[in-house]
Amino acid sequence: MNKEFDTEESASVVSRRDFFKRTASVSAVAAASILAPGALLADDENIMHHPKWGTSLGDECNYNPYGFPSKYEHNVVRRTSALMSSAGDMHAAISMTPLHEQKGIITPSGLHFTRTHNGVAHVDPNKYRLMIHGLVEKPIVLTLEQLKRYPSESKILFMECPSNGAAEWKGPQFNSLQFVRGMMSCSEWTGVRLKTILDELGLKPEAKWMLAEGSDGSEMSRTLPIEKVLDDVMIVWGQNGEALRDEQGYPVRLMAPGWEANLCVKWLKRLEFGDKPWYAKEETSKYTALTASGRAIQHFYALETNSVITSPCPEIPWTDLKKGDLVEIEGLAWSGHGTIRGVDISFDGGKNWVEASLKGLVLPKAWTRFSYMYRYEGKPLLLQSRSYDDSDNVQPTVNQEKKVVGVEGVYHRNAIHTWAVNAKGEVNNVQVRS
């Protein structure tokens, strides 16, 4: 069935790379056509004929009661690698957001990166309970429905695994944006500010630390200081207008804005207030950053001031550009310390810099888009971006970062990233370091 349609489709759908090649080979013609429309170019079949979708009845309006992306977008998916797991076991692993396809600053929930320590738990919301106890006047246990009765707030906040970029400490390894920086996403999160609940429960003055514990097989637990808890920590049940996805801790996770995603405990079960830190496994044996001194930074909370150019990148190269084309360099900047104030761009590997423009919403602890209009010259470039924020942190060079913490820290890597663009417009992951 639909044989004619299939033929049409296979003829008109070429891979992006093929398309670029074709376009490049007829670039002179294309350039001429701008001046004299249609003078030299063959007529486009896609214009000359009605498409199948215009000459037949489409699907019923609600044929997908819960919608999916176009099936043509099937390659826009999270990806993982055996390197991100133990022995290739994908229960304690991480999958990366396809940042090269990310539009704006909200990551679709289904593309939000996922880190699990004992698989994705599937929690029955009817059996869900949250207990808050310890150094509070009035301990409490809540069902999901009771929790959602608390007044809610919604905030756009990025979520980043502190291992983001960890494969790159000793040099470049992956040749894709997705694997260089994909352990992060940004969503609008909805839930209750924890302080709102604590105001009712009565936090005792000797409470200095909070244990957050998950209900999954790994019983993920972490200790947070009270100051943060009372500032902006939330208990969230909503993501991008709907319930959290299972992979993000359905039905409830902790949200510590700007801090390690690992602290934003998923499948949240219990919050206990105490006067001492707990030394949980994921804040001692892991999620501590070993420095060249032989000692490790612990309780390393806030994600660093950071940025990356998302276009061009190895997945979205400039191979279709001609000399003289005006093209947008686009990227993402973020900081767990506060709000991005600006981003600088270098074309020569960090010797000279110009200021990029920020665009869209500029929010604390959220992805911020930056843009720079560039006249393509077809010459090799070492493209870099460098962000700075309102806490006065400036993104370091690879050398500046490793001078202080060495190359074995695993976590919180935020050195300036470099894309090498060659004369053909191909983009490769490199590092400028010594």
Partner 1 sequence: MFKLDRKSIIIGTSAIATSALLLSGCMGTTASSGDSASAGAPSSTGVYSIKNKTAIDGGVTYERKNGTYAAYKYNEQSTKGVNFGRTPTANEIAAWDVDALPDGSGLPEGEGSVEEGDELFEAQCASCHGDFGGGGNGYPQLAGGNQAKDKNGVVITLKNQREYGKTDAPKRTVGTYWPVATTLFTYIRDAMPYATPKSLSANETYAITAYILAQNGIEIDGEEMDDEYVLNAEKLTKVVLPNRHGFYPNIDGPTGPADVKAFFADRAKNIGSGTRCMTDCKDPGGQDGKTEAKVMKIGYEMKDVVPAYAYARDLPPEVEDKSITKAEKMYNESCKLCHATDKMGAPAVGDVEAWRAVTAKGVDKVVYNAINGMGGMPPKGGNEDLIPSEVKEIVDFMIESSKPKH
- Footprint of partner 1 on residues 42-81 (CB under 8 A)? 56-57, 71-75, 77, 79-81
The whole-angstrom distance between residue 249's C-alpha and the CA centroid of its chain comes to: 17
CB of 191 within 8 A of CB of 152? yes
261: contact with partner 1 by CB under 8 A:
no
Buried b (16+ CB within 10 A) or exposed e, 316-350: bbbbbbeeeeebebbbbbbbbbbebbbbbbbbebb
> Which of 199, 242, 328, 426 is in the footprint of partner 1 by CB under 8 A?
199
Find the binder of partner 1 among 29, 45, 89, 110 (CB under 8 A): 89
Nearer to partner 1, 33 or 195 (CB): 195
User: Cβ closer to partner 1: 232 or 247?
Assistant: 232
Specify the stretch interacting with partner 1 by CB under 8 A; choose among 8-16, 30-38, 245-253, 320-328.
Answer: 8-16
> In the range 325-344, which residues lie near partner 1 by CB under 8 A?
335-342, 344
* Closest CB to partner 1 among residues 29, 323: 323
**Among residues 109, 278, 322, 378, which is the contact residue for partner 1, using CB under 8 A?**
278
Residues in region 18-47 near partner 1 by CB under 8 A = none
How far apart (Å, rounded) are the C-alpha atoms in residues 172 and 322?
Answer: 28
**103 scored as a contact of partner 1 (CB under 8 A):** no
How far is residue 58 CA from its own chain's centroid?
A: 35
Q: Give alpha helix (H) positions in 189-266.
A: 194-201, 226-231
How long, in residues, is the chain? 434
How far, in Å, CA of 317 to CA of 306, rounded? 22
51, 108, 350, 378: which one binds partner 1 (CB under 8 A):
350
Residues 148-177: x where in contact with partner 1 by CB under 8 A, - otherwise, as a string: -xxx-x-x-----------x--xxxxxxx-
Residue 385 CB neighbours (<10 A): 27
Binding partner 1 (rule: CB under 8 A), the pick from 46, 361, 424, 426 is: 361
Number of residues in contact with partner 1, rule: CB under 8 A? 160
- Contacting partner 1 (CB under 8 A), which of 105, 147, 321, 381? 147
In whole angstroms, how close is the CB of 43 to partner 1 at the nearest point? 23
Structure tokens belonging to residue 378: 């077809």
Neighbours of 393 (CB within 10 A): 19
Residue number with CB closer to partner 1 (30 or 77)? 77
Q: Which of these ranges, 31-39, 102-110, 130-138, 320-328, lies near partner 1 under the rule CB under 8 A?
A: 130-138
- Pick the binder of partner 1 from 123, 142, 157, 309 (CB under 8 A): 142
- Using the rule CB under 8 A, is 91 a contact of partner 1? yes
Q: What are phi and psi of 168, to 5 degrees?
A: -105, 5
- Name the segment binding partner 1 (CB under 8 A); options: 39-47, 104-112, 145-153, 244-252: 145-153
How many Cβ atoms from other residues are within 10 Å of residue 204's Cβ? 12
User: What are the φ and ψ backbone dihedral angles of 371, each rounded to 5 degrees?
Assistant: -150, 145
390 binds partner 1 (CB under 8 A): yes
| Given 304, 321, 383, 417, the residue binding partner 1 (CB under 8 A) | 304
- Residue showing tokens 């300036």: 416
Give every CB contact of residue 207 below 8 A, 6+ residues apart in sequence. Answer: 134, 135, 136, 226, 273, 274, 275
Residue 160 is given by DSSP the state E
